[in-house]
Amino acid sequence: VFFKNLIFFAILVFVLMFLFYIIYVIYIKNKKMSETTKKIMPSATLAINTKAKNLKNSGVDVINFAAGEPDFDTPEHIKRAAIEKINSGCTKYTQTRGIPELIEAIRNKFKKDNKIDYKDSEIIVSSGAKMVLYEAIFAITNPGDEILIPDPYWVSYPSIVMLASGVPKFVKTKNFKLVPEEIEKNITKKTKALIINSPNNPTGAVIDKKDLMEIADIAIKNDLIVISDEIYEKIIYDKQHESIASFPEMKERTITINGFSKSYAMTGWRLGYAAAKEEIIKEMLKIQEHSVSCIPYFVQYAGVVALNESQKCVSDMRDEFRKRRDYVLKRSSELGMPCCKPEGAFYAFMDHSEYNKDSMKFSEFLLDTARVAIIPGIAFGSLGESHIRMSYANSMKNLEKGFLNIEKAIKTIK
């Protein structure tokens, strides 16, 4: 009887401890975490990129088509300018908005390239286009405000909106083109803004001027703010880039986002900028004052040189991307993975439904079998399913090798 009671007592203690642990995990430990950040998913593009890098570090020959950054080095004259500024002691805090030389260079760039006249007070420089997007979205969003995001979308938009206590609402595209009727269908009393991104990540689509004008009309009619992410402005192949803020009555309701990461192969420098009416920029400045403070002087000075000196480095990179785009288009169609012709950026969004409809499984299969890292389309929204995003910011040699590997791998499926 004594042993029976002892075993019973031990089981009882074990069960109680287990229950206490469950209660601790669910109610106490998790409660310590923010309800807002719990809703946010880690970036899927960075996750695959990291997995590919880890495989590579462990000696596996992985070809990386996942990275969203040019494979070119930052042009020499830009690097040199930053080094000179470091050597001459420009290593202290700067103005929160950005150094006057850079603000002036950005103002001139908007005037020359985009036909928009901004004042210095309507411009802000921050830590990459991502940070200016944060500041822009936080500056305009009240809890419950709806922000329209065309699907497929760049992975960070919905997370930033949710972090700002807004509600992302996804707008369907047709053949990856933004259709004005679909925008109107999603507008409610709570709609605050619409994000547009042309050239687009992940599809490479560019919004036609005619469609952009219709979007502008919708924004004016419904009193919406437009956040226009133009980070791929300079990587455009067959069309002229159009900035929606240059259309009549649009400057005051548009926040134009841009940066140096893609055009000048400066992803690691973390330099981006935005332009909008002064009231919005003032709010963005407050966020900046209490977060990043300012961007390093030498980084900003590199931006001045990038904008003010010859743009040949930009056109050289674009010409190389165009060659690769044409090659990727040809090979993807030969392999039965068609893709809408990318008109800009450096991504091909390929339809792999002939082989497998699950983009997560298909990209895992490609990583394991073909040793190529590619982002599953589902990471970019529900309309991205059955697609993979291949970044052709990689050498022609690697593209050729990668496609040969993919060809061999998919032969094992058929």
Ligand X SMILES: Cc1ncc(COP(=O)(O)O)c(C=O)c1O
Please say which residue, 98 or 370, places its beta carbon nearer to ligand X: 98
> In the stretch 214-243, what mask flags binding to ligand X with x, by CB under 6 A?
---------------x-x------------
Rounded to whole angstroms, the Cα distance separating 252 from 68 reads 31
Sole residue written with tokens 């946010």: 40
Per CB under 6 A, 389 contacts ligand X: no
Report d(CA 346, CA 323) in Å as an integer.
11
Cα distance between residue 260 and residue 353, in whole Å: 35
From the CB of 32, what's the least distance to ligand X, in Å?
A: 30
Is 152 a residue that touches ligand X (CB under 6 A)?
Answer: no
The answer to whether 168 contacts ligand X (rule: CB under 6 A) is: no
Among 110, 154, 346, 380, binds ligand X (CB under 6 A): 154
Q: Judged by CB under 6 A, does residue 201 bind ligand X?
A: yes
| Closest distance of CB 413 from ligand X, Å | 30
68: contact with ligand X by CB under 6 A? yes
Residue in 98, 128, 204, 344 binding ligand X, rule: CB under 6 A: 128
| 348 sits near ligand X (criterion: CB under 6 A) | no
- Six-digit token string for 100: 């006057």
- The number of residues that bind ligand X (CB under 6 A) is 13
Q: Which of 260/362 has CB closer to ligand X?
A: 260
Cβ of residue 31: shortest distance to ligand X, in angstroms? 33
Please state the closest distance from residue 292 (CB atom) to ligand X, in A.
12
CA 393/CA 388 separation, integer angstroms: 15
263 binds ligand X, rule: CB under 6 A: no
With contact defined as beta carbons under 8 Å apart, do 410 and 353 qualify? no
For every residue of 170-194, DSSP letters joined together read: EEEEETTEE-HHHHHHT--TTEEEE
Token representation of residue 40: 């946010």
DSSP for 346-371, please give it.
TEEEEE-TTT-S-HHHHHHHIIIII-
Confirm if 282 and 138 have CB atoms less than 8 A apart. Answer: no
Cβ 235 vs Cβ 269: under 8 Å: no
Select from 345, 11, 22, 400 the least CA-distant residue to 202: 345
**Strand, coil or helix: 196:** strand
199 binding ligand X? (CB under 6 A): no
74 near ligand X, rule: CB under 6 A: no
CB of 187 to ligand X, least distance (A): 23
Binding site for ligand X (CB under 6 A): 68, 128-130, 154, 197, 201, 229, 231, 259, 261, 267, 272
